[in-house]
Amino acid sequence: MAKYASASQVTVSVRADSHDIRVEVADDGAGGADPTGGTGLRGLADRVETLGGALTVDSPQGRGTRVVAVIPSGAGPA
């Protein structure tokens, strides 16, 4: 985030309950992140989806970026 977004603040939160695990990363940087371009966010989305989860990206130009991954509890290799 420091490299691409010129962010001065980043927050990370992780919450888990019996249904899912939610990881949220937000910054106050430049915004404009495009999850369909390149391999970074698209690759992350692919990994989350492989576990049965979903990745959302909210990144309005000039207003920072928020990335949220929600993965079902118990997902992953046995």
Query: Residue 51: which domain range?
Result: 2-72
Question: Which residues are bridge partners to 54 per DSSP?
Answer: 70
Q: Is 78 part of a structural domain of the chain?
A: no
Residue 27 neighbours by CB under 8 Å, 6+ apart: 1, 5, 7, 9, 10, 11, 64, 65
Q: Is 77 part of a structural domain of the chain?
A: no
Q: Is 38 part of a structural domain of the chain?
A: yes
Q: Is 47 part of a structural domain of the chain?
A: yes
Q: Is 62 part of a structural domain of the chain?
A: yes
> What residue type is assigned to position 42 of the chain?
R
Provide the domain count of the chain. Answer: 1
CB atoms within 10 A of CB 9: 10
Q: Is 49 part of a structural domain of the chain?
A: yes
Q: Is 8 part of a structural domain of the chain?
A: yes
User: In angstroms, rounded to a whole number, what is the distance separating the alpha carbons of residues 61 and 13?
Assistant: 23
Global pTM reads 0.86
Question: What digits encode the pLDDT tens for the residues 8-66?
Answer: 999 999 999 999 999 999 999 999 998 887 778 999 999 999 999 999 999 999 999 99
